Amino acid sequence: MRKIFTGKDGFTLIEIIAVLVVLGILAVVAVSRTINYDVELISGADTLKTHLRYAQTLAMNSTPTAAGVPVIWGMSCNGPSYWLFQGTTITNYIGLPEDDKYINANKTINLAAKKISVGNFTIFFDNRGIPYSAYTSAAVNTPLAANQIITVTGGGTSVNVTITPFTGYIP
């Protein structure tokens, strides 16, 4: 009996350190699996939302040149890039506030540099902030009939950017 209580069995300092190292490695692996690697995707979608809101704000802050003739601002995307425009001509490129490394020579946003892709879209906003899917004149226009959903893809996942009809709300 005495031998059981007076034995010198136990863990050595090296064994304890080895266990702590293994636990540290497991903790690093567990934490690295929970980190969100879709930062470019989320950032790109948020930037697109900001640019859409910017186009809407420019339209709402513009004064019509004649009674009943709204001022139109909008954004369009052709796949590799998107841009801001004024009027009904969507190729009237106007620079967006963005980091210079994402701006192409023709003032469009380079989506490949952002490591994302965006589905093709064109959206018009009048001076009341109402979104349109087509706009040629005050008499010939097509207000959004349903939510306009723009899909932003990157890193194998996607995020939807939604524009609400009538109000132009972008959640």
The predicted structure's pLDDT at residue 34: 65
- The angle formed by the CA atoms of residues 148, 151 and 154, to the nearest 5 degrees, is 165
Provide the 8-state DSSP code for 97: S
Query: Mean pLDDT score of the chain, rounded to an integer?
Result: 86
Identify the helix (H) or strand (E) that includes residue 131.
strand 131-135
Single pTM value for the model:
0.76
The predicted structure's pLDDT at residue 73: 93
Does the structure show a pLDDT above 60 at 2? no
Q: State the greatest distance between any 2 C-alpha atoms of the chain, in Å, as a whole number.
A: 106
The predicted structure's pLDDT at residue 3: 55
